[in-house]
Amino acid sequence: MGNLVNEKRPVIKIETLELGPHAQKKIFLPKESGFDKHKTLAVWFFAAIAFGVALTSFLVETGEHTAKAVDNFFASKEVALVENKENLILGSDDQKEDEEVSFYTGAGNFVKATSKNPPKTSSLSYLVGDIETGEIIFEKNPEFVFPIASVSKLMTAIVAKELLDLHNYVVVSKSSVNTYGTQGGLNSGERILITDLLYPLLIESSNDAAEVLADGLGRENFLKAMNNKAVQIGMASTTYSDPSGLSPKNVSSTKDLFVLAQFINKNYPDIWDITRVTEYGVLKHKWVNSNRLMRKPSFIGGKNGYTEEAFRTTVSVFDIPFKVFGTKDIVKRKVAVVILKSNEREADVDILLRFLESNFAFSYEKDSIEELGGTN
């Protein structure tokens, strides 16, 4: 009887198969043949144990190889992260060959860290500079002259403050109301204080308000005053053909507009204050600020513009913290960002500000500035 059982005992075959770099064990069991149920279960039990051991060995070996591969992958990515840190921070690509960015280091207060690529923006021309010292930190195509759109209204505000009595009333003319655009909601024949008109002019970018202010001096005289003022403060490439910026003949360069920002900062900082007002109401009017750059905590003030010819433009000022060269101190500086011919103004401003904060430090000693190996 015992011999019979031995003859009918199934043979468990375990074969080793080579699969790439790993060995896999495969178990072969014959079909049941006169074996009772309990013996069959026992066979399967021991077979399962053998298979489990083989599988565990395979998974451990595979896991080790996979872990090494993952470690190598992320190690290579970490190297790339270090090598291209500024690109990842800025979301920028390699600079195009025809785009040249000038960096001014060694002659002013700002020290530039080593950086492979300058910031890439959609704008054809930009400038970033310290508004109080006049130091240009970096720029692209500063001499290019483009339409500036509603950035023109900064000069409109200056001339109005200098040549009009802000406490006088002005009557809104029909021609002013017929100007393209509905911002401001002014009505023909209504009387309004000149000082109040500065709010729809600067926070809603009202073309009507710009024309009403110009009427206060006589439109031609007002435009002449705008152009004379540009020449007086050194805006050699700037021309104004209307007080609103609708005309494509209102042109300037980022370098000229940086000069304008400096002039406002020194002489009429209240213009920046107006551009930070979220809303302003008088009589039946309520003007609301739609400038998205105003959401930045560092925003001091500024004016945006848009026309089909100008694309998107801005002259904006921010209070930016910088590391002080050679110390752990932090100092805040008022920095102007001027952008012309942009498709994505807000994104471009973000790119420029993040590049500025990541790649520059501030030094109080101009004569001892050297290029840094990194400020991060």
**Dist CA 124 CA 311 (whole Å):** 10
φ, ψ at 331 (rounded to 5°): -130, 145
Selecting among 92, 115, 123, 205, the annotated active-site residue is 205
**Dist CA 164 CA 184 (whole Å):** 20
Which residues partner with 287 through β-bridges? 280
**Dist CA 262 CA 15 (whole Å):** 84
Cβ atoms 359, 90 nearer than 8 A: no
For residue 203, what are its two tokens? 């926070």
Cβ atoms 245, 152 nearer than 8 A: yes
CA distances from 322 to 28, 87, 193, 327 (A): 72, 20, 42, 11
153 a catalytic residue: yes
Selecting among 153, 255, 303, 323, the annotated active-site residue is 153
286 a catalytic residue: no
- For β-strands 251-252 and 285-288, DSSP reports them as unpaired
Which residues partner with 286 through β-bridges? 281
- Give the burial class of 110: count Cβ atoms within 10 A of its Cβ; 0-12 exposed, 13-18 middle, 19 or more buried: buried
Selecting among 92, 115, 125, 150, the annotated active-site residue is 150
For residue 288, what are its two tokens? 């609301």
**Dist CA 120 CA 133 (whole Å):** 26
Which residues are the active-site residues?
150, 153, 205
